[in-house]
Amino acid sequence: MRLLAEAGIENPRGEARLLLAHALGVSRDATLTATPTPDQSAAFAAFVARRVAHEPFAYIAGQREFWSLALAVGPGVLIPRPDTETLIEEALRLVANRDAPLSIADLGAGSGAILLAALTAFPGATGIGFESSPQAFAWLNANVARHAPHRAQTRLAQWSAAEGPFDLVFSNPPYIPAADIESLAWDVAGYEPRAALDGGPDGLDAYRSLATLLPVILKPGGHAVLEIGVGQENAMELLFPDLEIVRIAPDLAGIPRCVILRNV
């Protein structure tokens, strides 16, 4: 715990117990009574060293929970955040019949978190995840094989390859201004893929690309549900002149986090 505290890790006691639980292969509560073997103690020490170097805990554990799904994650893929679950919650508000045979696309799917959560929320749907990074694509395929092998397809491609038509299109695009990335916590800037973070000089490059693509691949009346960065909500109307902005929804902290667009 001392090493974690000295490295500036928040809640070092809690993280130490989580790392120990991972080394032992038990729940966090079970660490209170467990007696590690020498091999488990060595594994725990190795995990602590990795965390002291600010490697994200999710990479060390090899998974992250999203929408109650255990998703495999590791180097080369963005770690899903709880704020992104706002996109699924908003999609549920859009569709009256959750069993409808929807066609779904996830553009820049990464680990597949949004795609697989959407397929869980809409059990009659099928979907395609588009991901251009070979490293992230490997994680996407692993998670699709585990959670939705018969309902989801994957494409190693830029999202411009999407053809549709789709009822629902999701994306959590890169939206951090390039100059701001180095100021992020080292857990993020030093480990997570820059291509999944860097939104160009003003953070809006990906949305300009989506503004051209979405009217083409959405069905008439179809919706796009996109994550946005802090302070970007005011730019959305100018960026998407050919789509109707249904609403901009906040995350749990009250920060505008999700723009919902309709193809009129």
Alpha-carbon span 111 to 90, nearest angstrom: 20
First to last CA, the chain: 55
Model pLDDT, residue 8: 79
b vs e for 176-207, b when ≥16 Cβ sit within 10 Å of the residue's Cβ?
A: bbbeebeeeeebebebbbeebbbbeeebbbbb
Alpha-carbon span 214 to 165, nearest angstrom: 10
Which residues are CB-neighbours of 41 under 8 A, at least 6 positions away? 23
Alpha-carbon span 137 to 218, nearest angstrom: 23
For the chain, what is the mean pLDDT?
93
Q: Among 25-34, 68-77, 106-115, which is the least confidently predicted range?
A: 25-34
Model pLDDT, residue 9: 79
Locus of tokens 């899903």: 80
Q: What is the pTM of this model?
A: 0.93
Tokens of 238: 């100018």
Q: Is the pLDDT at 10 greater than 90, yes or no?
A: no
Q: What are the distances in angstroms from CA 1 to CA 48, 61, 188, 237?
A: 9, 17, 22, 48
What CATH code would you report for 75-262? Answer: 3.40.50.150
Q: Where are the domains of the chain?
A: 2-53, 75-262
pLDDT tens digits for 197-209? Answer: 999 999 999 999 9
Per-residue confidence band for 135, with pLDDT thresholds at 50, 70 and 90: very high
Per-residue confidence band for 37, with pLDDT thresholds at 50, 70 and 90: confident
Q: Is the pLDDT at 28 greater than 80, yes or no?
A: no
114: helix, strand or coil: helix
